[in-house]
Amino acid sequence: MELMIPSAADSFLQDESSYDKGEAVKAFDETKAGVKGLVDSGVTKIPRFFIHPPEDMQKSSSESSHLGLQVPVINFEHCESYRRSEVVNEIRKASEIWGFFQMVNHGIPVIVLDDMLAGVRRFHEQHRDVKMEFYSRDREQPVRFFCNGDLLVSRAPANWRDTIAFDFQDGKLDPELFPETFREEVSQYIRHMIQMKKTLSELISEALGLRSDYLSSIECMETESLVCHYYPACPEPDLTLGATKHRDPSLMTILLQDNMGGLQVRNQTQWADVPPLQGALVVNIGDFMQLITNDKFKSVEHRVLVGKEGSRTSVACFFYPSTANKFKPYGAIKELVSDDNLPIYRETHVAEFLAYFRMEPVFPKAVNSLLEDHWPSYDRAEEVKAFSETKNRECAKSFIRADSIEFNETEIPLCNYHPTCS
Ligand SMILES: O=C(O)CCC(=O)C(=O)O
Ligand SMILES: [Fe+2]
């Protein structure tokens, strides 16, 4: 087998006596070959920064399937006509209870899904020299290949997966920027995602008891981030995760998974498998939807296990408010609040919201400087005053800046939204 790791980078492999995580991570990043590169080099032990604590590795899925816990599967056939109210009801129930559902008979041809998965696999399995050209951690790059977006800044263990991401604006991004390996597939897939978004946005609006164009009228899903993951077989699958437990910061995510399995969703204290179904798409409610629906629809934790044999591919399409309008404020939808059901979260905009999600809570300075750059009118004193005047102290529960109010430890809400702290 070809040895793909430059010898200078060997330091990220274990040397118990002088282990320096920062150095190890940096050396690994410099290979630009991701976990696939590690596997190709023939490692039999995973680097220490991929090892997750044992309490995060509990596998309770068999227990949950005994209990009959199953993410709902919704048949979308005739959802435009006589089955509409049935489908809307099922979406409402699934979004309130699970925050997840699988869609079948949704109208996207299976061949489009299979071609996309095959294209993602081709990209990740090609020679690393070609992939390396796309390797970047710069979010300004609309197409970038990387291993763990937060690898260099997070204190959390790394995930056993590589990713290529595409940032679209209402489905638009110059296809010349896409890797040739699966240019056609990406173009075709995103066209279908845009169509599917329209369908879902109407159905979800109705499931919330609103007119069908409500979500589209508030322009909360204009940006799409398509992330194409590859989870290689892992020599020590009991020590690491493909994706650590997290909630998506999006409004909504549409996920395509191949037939390997491994995705699990939190149902109270259990992890429930989301079994692969040929031709199905998984939909999940993200944090931003939970915010605007005032907790009616739930953003639920999920994770991905890795296997010893066989690699897994998946494609997540995250929908966000337009990044062209990233300071537009969003709060609880007024039709969904009342004197008995006050807003739980204060208003926020997508720039601030994503900054929270991406930054460590222990880095309030970084958050603040980012906010100052993007939001020059930010006045902390004013915000503290506004907060102290709010009727409902709970309003600050999730989206207040970590250093703007003297919270005690348990009240620092950012922790709710950062996978490293949950
Ligand atoms: O690969 C999967 O099945 C899940 C990916 C995921 O949860 C994410 O990208 O947020
Ligand atoms: Fe996710």
229 lines ligand 1 (CB under 6 A): yes
Q: Considering the chain, what is the average pLDDT of its residues?
A: 82
What whole-number percentage of the chain has pLDDT above 90?
A: 62
**Hey, where are the domains in the chain?**
53-349
Enumerate residues 6+ apart whose C-beta is below 8 A from 266: 245, 272, 300, 301, 302
Average pLDDT in the 170-182 region?
97
311 lines ligand 1 (CB under 6 A): no
- pTM, rounded to two decimals: 0.84
Whether 416 has a pLDDT exceeding 50, the answer reads no
Closest CA to ligand 1's atom 10: 248
Whether 390 has a pLDDT exceeding 50, the answer reads no
- Among 302, 313, 315, 354, which is best to mutate for testing ligand 1, by the most ligand atoms less than 8 A from CB? 302
Distance 324 CA to ligand 2 centre (A): 24
Other Cβ atoms less than 10 A from the Cβ of 29: the count is 19
> Over the stretch 375-387, which tens digit does the pLDDT of each residue have?
444 444 454 454 4
Rounded to 5°, the CA angle 358-364-365 comes to: 110
Instruction: Please name which ligand lies nearest the alpha carbon of 230.
Output: 1
Q: What are phi and psi of 143, to 5 degrees?
A: -125, 120
Top-level CATH class of 53-349? mainly beta
Sheet bearing 270-273, strands edge to edge: 243-246, 302-304, 263-267, 270-273
Whether 280 has a pLDDT exceeding 50, the answer reads yes
Tell me which of 34-43, 158-167, 318-327, 381-390 is least confident. Answer: 381-390
Higher pLDDT, 4 or 103: 103
Higher pLDDT, 179 or 9: 179
Closest CA to ligand 1's atom 9: 316
Average pLDDT in the 144-150 region?
93
Whether 405 has a pLDDT exceeding 70, the answer reads no
> Over the stretch 93-108, which tens digit does the pLDDT of each residue have?
999 999 999 999 999 9
Atom of ligand 1 nearest to the CA of 257: 3
Whether 66 has a pLDDT exceeding 60, the answer reads no
